[in-house]
Structure 1
């Protein structure tokens, strides 16, 4: 894979909605060697993480993607500037509500996901198997 063992970063412009189409195109360029299933899952998962950061944490600071060859996974990391605000898993869902399924999708698609906090940033990360 083109980025095996390295981490590529996408810097978000300040303010406004994240350019999700541009983000997905960037992902396809970075992960050009992974299969279609892995790419589709990575695009969906990344869109959910970026949207969550935009809607709940005052925007996205940076997106990183890497491929770990020793574990055959794609790792997606999204930073935001609200380290004190932790993502919450939704346990009960009103099926008529248009929001609130993002982390459920992340959990369903990824093999593992979590949160790492620092003093100025929070990173929500997830890993997807390379198929």
Structure 2
């Protein structure tokens, strides 16, 4: 990734499903200086966050990824425009349901994750260890 600490942003096309293949390719490009495991974990976690924004919050507005200075993590931030809808800590998923495992994956892969809100937006973020 260019400069440590520099946030690289991915802008989403409006009115369509998120192009997950393009997002994964963009992430690989941004994280080319990290290891394969870090890239794979970041791809999986990011597609979960983007998919959640698409399915539950009228789509993702922006995706940012960066390596915070002085820390061994990749930070992913996904913005949407539905601040009143906040994801909650995952409960035990229903084994018969095809849904309900995304945030459990985020929690398992990340060292930490959370939600920040502001006027007209919400950011769901997660940090993935650099391995």
TM bracket, shorter-chain basis: over 0.9
Displacement after TM superposition at 1:96 (Å):
1.6
What is the TM-score of this pair, normalised by structure 2? 0.96
Q: Residues 37-56 of structure 1 correspond to what in structure 2 (within 5 A)? A: 37-56=37-56
* RMSD of Structure 2 on Structure 1 (CA): 1.0
Q: Residues 7-46 of structure 1 correspond to what in structure 2 (within 5 A)? A: 7-46=7-46
Instruction: Name the counterpart of 2:63.
Output: 63
Cα distance between partner residues in 2 of 1:35 and 1:94:
34
Q: Which segments of 5 or more consecutive residues in structure 2 lack a partner in the other structure?
A: none
Moved more, 90-99 or 31-40: 90-99
What is the TM-score of this pair, normalised by structure 1? 0.96
Matched length? 131
- Secondary structure of 1:68's counterpart equals coil
Deviations 1:80-119, CA, capped at 9 Å, x for gaps: 0100110122313211211110000000000000000001
Instruction: Name the counterpart of 1:4.
Output: 4
Cα distance between partner residues in 1 of 2:3 and 2:35:
14
- Secondary structure of 2:61's counterpart equals strand
